[in-house]
Structures are given as structure tokens and as C-alpha cells.
Structure 1
């Protein structure tokens, strides 16, 4: 005698599940696609039911910053190196690999008014590495300012030409900006998979990172 199939029980909602779905939605469609309604559809739930787990969209955004930062901490946890500079470089490049999986995340990290505990733990470990390498706390403080967002694995763009329709200088301004025109016509970013912004590709990132780390190493030796 045939029996009706019993439907599989639905996985209950939780804050972790909501945030995991939010990260996946942002990965696939970009941060602008992340709305409470779209998130509820992704989870097969009513939008109002999300509010039992996340207070509002800002809570979701803070939560996915935490989630990405925790992913970074897991990625760097087992990194070892014979000296401070190699260790710091490897940690920063490992963090960058996480951002390359979540390309929307750098812009979000820059907008948060509250600092994630997971981000603070990342920085705490970075400070510890530099202290073990012979840096004073004062020099570590200067170093973090010099590294800026590079410490987390991405460059802050000075400007975004995409907002004005591209990286080309308008023709009516070209004769007033000859050096910028020459520079922009000569640069190329050939590996889009390593790029987090207009001038934030892997080669540019590592160039700037190594300049800063080499300079900091000289200061450490002089201290």
C-alpha cells in the first residue's frame, strides 16, 4: 500500500543561518541586492520572521562583517614564519584571499561605525606579532597608521573612476592634465580575479605592502 511521502523538516532559522545566507546573497548578487525581503526569499521565510534573529538591516551588515572577519581569523590562525615581516606579510595576503572571495566586503568594512570584535582580534594578533619582532608599542601604532586598510588586505581607493563613467580623463581636460593622461594610458590591470578595486589588484597591493613593511623593518632596526 502506497504511503504519502513525509516532507523533510525545514531547517529552523537562526542568526547564524540568516547571516550565512546574507553573505551568500552578497557574494552572488552584490551588496545592493541584500534587502530584508530578498534575504527572506532566499531563506524561504517571511520577512518579519527574520527580525527574531536580526534587529534590522544594519544588524545584518554588522553581522556579515563579523562573519567575514571570523573567516579571516580562521585563515590566518595557523600561519607561521621565521621573522615578523614574513609572518605579517603572509597574514595580510591570507586576509586578502578572503576579501577576494567576498569582493563587496572592503566597501562595507569602511562604512561600519562600530568595530567588530573579530576585527579587533585580528589586529590584536597583528600587534602581538610585531611586538615579538622587536617593535615598541609606539612604533606598532605608527605602523598600523602607515599600513591603513592594507593591514586587513585591501587598499582604500583615492577615487573611483567607475562612478564617473570610467578611468579616462575627459577630452576637454586632457591638455590640462598631461601627466595623469600619460599615466592612465600606460597602466594595465590584467588579472581581474586578483582585483578588489580600480587600482587594487594584487600587483599594486603587494607593491605598496612591501614598501611599507621594508620601511618599517628599517625603523625597527634603528629603534
Structure 2
């Protein structure tokens, strides 16, 4: 038998299968479900640093290093572990003058800045850590946020809530159209995260003797996309 004849003979058997597959396919609906679990935070992340000036780059950086060492030593005394301290930004820049007068710009000293992120696992000592940092030389406070040290349990609950929300939405829409929700065709997670409760304070704000802070609650969010069959 020639190859051409074999292909022709096989074609009638292929077409009915393809047509049958299309006939059995059901319409679908795609919905997005959202879940949110709120709870008290058990840790805080503090962003602070030291900014210093000097006549030379070496002087500015030396003064910065000395001040930051004092701050970090105080953090250690307050119970902050080394693994919970991370440098987030280190910079050294010249201070230019002469732009306003139209003269040739010149360097009039240098500014050094070293910023660190500090994770505080004992929230009862948060006020103490803040006081110590500012008292011992930290002159830049960029922000304070609260979070969960282990977000997985809250995230799993938020995921389950998101799936339930997707099913409820699909059911409402499909039944309103006079049909029923069928089986799940596909499900995907669009990403989840914990939404911290931030507290921001600028470097120029006055710091009272005891810094009052409130952790409030953090929200753990989940988002899923689910595709359901629609049964007529």
C-alpha cells in the first residue's frame, strides 16, 4: 500500500474523534478568589542609620563607622542577634558648593551614610531598642514595620479562604445565569503576601524619652484564579 493511500484511509477515522472531542467540551467560567487573614504581629523591622560629615572622605567615613559601631553594640546589648542586622545602604558622597553663585563648583567636605535593617523578635523590647538607637548616635530613622516571623500558617488559611471565595463567586454568577458549576478545570495562585502595618518617622522628628509604638494587626493576603466548567 502506498503512503498516500494509507493517509487517505486513515483520515476518516481521525475526523470523527476530533469532532467528538469538540462536542464534549463544556463552557467555562474564570473567577478570581481573594483571602485575607489578620492577626497580631510577632516581630518588627526597623530601618535606621548614621549620617556623618567630614572635611575629607576618610574623616566622614571614619566618624560614621565609629558612631555606627556604638549603635550596633547597643543593639547587641538589647538582645538583637547578628543575624537580625543587615546593611541596606552604604554611601559616600562629596558636598558640592558654588552652583548658586555661578562659580566653579568645588567640593566642600563629604557625607557618609550607613543604613541598616534590624529585625526585632521581642516586641516588648521595641521601645527600648528605639531609645537606645537614637541615644547612641543613629540620626536617620527611615521606618518601622510589623510582620510575622512565620507567615506560613496564616498564608495557608488565606489560601483556603481565597479558594472558597472563588467557588462562591463562580456559583453566584453561574446560577444567576440558570446553570450549575461543574468540576475545576484549573487553579493557580497569583501570589500571596503579608501586608505589614508601617510606622514612619523622619530624621527631624523629636524623639520622646520612651517611644510609644503599637503593633496593631497585619493582614496576610492570598489570591487565586480558578476555572470551572459550566453545566447547562
If the TM-score is normalised by the length of the shorter chain, which range does it land in?
Answer: under 0.3
Q: Under a length normalisation based on structure 1, what TM-score does the superposition of the two structures give?
A: 0.23
- Report the structure number with the largest CA radius of gyration: 2
TM-score (norm. length: structure 2): 0.23
Between the two structures, name the one with larger relative contact order (CA 8 Å, sep ≥ 6). 2
Structure showing the higher strand proportion among its residues:
2
